[in-house]
Amino acid sequence: MKIQNIHIMKQPDLGKKLAELRKQNGLTQEELVEKCNISVRTIQRIEAGEVEPRSYTIKTILNALNIQFDSVFEKKYKSGYFDKIFGISLDSSSRLKQLTIAWIFGIVYFFIGFFEVGFEFNRFFGDDLIGGGIGYILVKCISLISFVLFMRGFVIVGSMYRNYLLQIMTVIIIVFMVLIGFYDIFTFDSVSYIDELDKFTGISKAITSGILQILFGIAILQLSSKIGNIASVSGVFEIITGIFFLSVIGAIVGLFFLIPTEILEIIVLYKVAEKLKKEDY
């Protein structure tokens, strides 16, 4: 009995498959109704392909047919390119926890960012680092760790929705930010921080960040059909922020645009987590 593709089927194929499974179990529609407490009219409409049933309804029907729901629904997820690298689980409940961890660390990254900007401002225009070198390194490390765990959520989302651009851009952004983070840590006590090399590095970072953010925004826009308008709004903000960074002279404005952009990113991950929760439970 081949049931592995039930969840990803659309009507009318899904209804036909459920009708086939019901008949293979020797049940009439009325007998199935008695087992799952779903109205006969609903069963008829599902099997006729007239309605798209919710996952909960399919789960109830499968349970009545003595078919394991999990064994069917877990097949909807296929490993992405980077799942093994980031320890992403095929199990839906584990992925839900990982997505929840991602948006929570997104909040951590958002707030630690204010401290990080303060350190960077003082690094450019102040005489001494606030809190000294240890404080600077600590903030940078917390920022890097929370950023990686935050962006890991977008690797999961990219895999879930077969959004290859999102998967690839997320990994590139993670690598880029980790390299920049290490560069900042190892050069924080430079005697002449604003020398010609660092000016060149700053311009290069702004341009690269702009390009990556624009492409990331395009990838987020591709989620609009899956999670709605929040993806559209988030994608537009990503692109606008990226344009400011790409222009270099507008990088300061880009920093301000990062505030709503990061909030929208957190909301996107939260929405996907909630959607996954509703589908599985």
Residue 224: how many CA atoms within 13 Å on its side-chain side? 11
The pTM score is 0.69
Checking if the pLDDT of 189 tops 50, the result is yes
Q: What is the distance between the alpha carbons of residues 239 and 215, in angstroms, rounded to a whole number?
A: 8
Q: What is the pLDDT of residue 130?
A: 57
Query: Is a pLDDT exceeding 50 seen at residue 196?
Result: no
Write down the pLDDT at residue 233.
Answer: 96
CB atoms < 10 A from the CB of 274, how many? Answer: 14
Q: Please give the Cα distance from 209 to 256 (Å, whole number).
A: 15
Under DSSP, is residue 264 helix (H, G, I), strand (E, B) or coil?
A: helix
Q: What digits encode the pLDDT tens for the residues 216-234?
A: 999 999 999 888 899 999 9
As to burial, measured by CB atoms within 10 angstroms (0-12 exposed, 13-18 middle, 19+ buried), residue 201 is middle
pLDDT value at residue 192: 46
For the residues 235-264, what does the mean pLDDT come to? Answer: 93
pLDDT of 24 over the 50 cut: yes
3-state SS track over 53-107: CCHHHHHHHHHHCCCCHHHHHHHHCCCCCCCCCCCCCCCHHHHHHHHHHHHHHHH
